[in-house]
């Protein structure tokens, strides 16, 4: 069984194993025209909702619980 390579590069499981977190894209470059509010929002951590968590556990098996 293989892990989903794209998901494993982007998502990390939380310690409880009940959710996942990721960084938001679009914060690294081309920031001159973006507002400060938008850049601050892009720097925040994004968490998975219930539906995403179910899918991520399937995609990241057998490594999704780490």
Are 10 and 22 a contacting pair, CB within 8 Å? yes
SS3 38: helix
Query: From first to last of its 66 residues, what are the pLDDT tens digits of the chain?
Result: 788 899 889 999 898 878 999 999 999 999 999 999 999 999 999 999 999 999 998 888 766 554
DSSP code, position 44: S
Distances (CA, A) of 56 to 14, 33, 35, 41, 42: 12, 34, 32, 23, 22
| Token pair for 12 | 């990390």
Domains and CATH numbers, the chain: 5-59 (4.10.410.60)
- Global pTM? 0.77
């Amino acid at each position: 069984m293989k892990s989903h390579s794209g998901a494993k590069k982007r998502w990390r499981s939380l310690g409880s194993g009940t959710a996942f977190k990721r960084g938001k894209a679009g914060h690294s470059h081309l920031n001159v025209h973006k507002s400060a509010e938008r850049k601050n929002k892009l720097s925040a951590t994004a968490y998975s909702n219930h539906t995403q968590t179910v899918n991520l556990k399937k995609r990241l098996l057998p490594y999704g619980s780490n």
